[in-house]
Amino acid sequence: GYYYRVNRKGSITDVNNNLKKLTREINDRVTLDTVKYEYLSKNYEQLTDEIKNWYFDELIGLYIEKFNYLYEMPDSANVFNEFRRTILNFTRDNSVKNASFKDKAKLQIIKNSLLGRIYYMYKKKVGSFN
């Protein structure tokens, strides 16, 4: 016979594994997008603004996509703070002047740490964030 042990959601081992997985997912995506960005910037200089805007959009999209994990795993705060700094450092060093209004609004939300409040209000009103 076989005995299969399944980790319960929210158990100590599950939380640690999920935090490692989340950290790895974010770091892998940022690394992959950074490699793409550097390659495109080097080889397609005539598209500099479009490439910056694409990279900026990828970073912001990933941050928002993974943000709900911050509330599911409170230990993930350091991961998100580091990721937030990556986005802010990029925008500080690079002009994203041609970014859409929507992306500029997202940046302001991230800059001012409003995403947590918006998420909390939405979750409170709707009940779950799917």
Task: Quote the pLDDT of residue 120.
Answer: 61
Residue 17: inside a domain, yes or no? yes
Residue 67: inside a domain, yes or no? yes
pTM reported for the whole predicted model: 0.71
Task: Quote the pLDDT of residue 93.
Answer: 77
What the block records as the tokens of 103 is 């992306």
Task: Quote the pLDDT of residue 7.
Answer: 55
Residue 63: inside a domain, yes or no? yes
Q: How far apart are CA 20 and CA 129, in angstroms?
A: 22
Percentage of the chain beyond pLDDT 90 is 18
Tens of pLDDT, residues 21-55:
889 999 999 999 999 999 999 999 898 888 988 99
Residue 3: inside a domain, yes or no? no
Residue 5: inside a domain, yes or no? no
Residue 112: inside a domain, yes or no? yes
Q: Is 43 exposed, middle or buried (0-12, 13-18, 19+ CB in 10 A)?
A: exposed
Residue 80: inside a domain, yes or no? yes
Q: Which domain holds residue 63?
A: 12-126
Residue 66: inside a domain, yes or no? yes
Task: Quote the pLDDT of residue 123.
Answer: 63
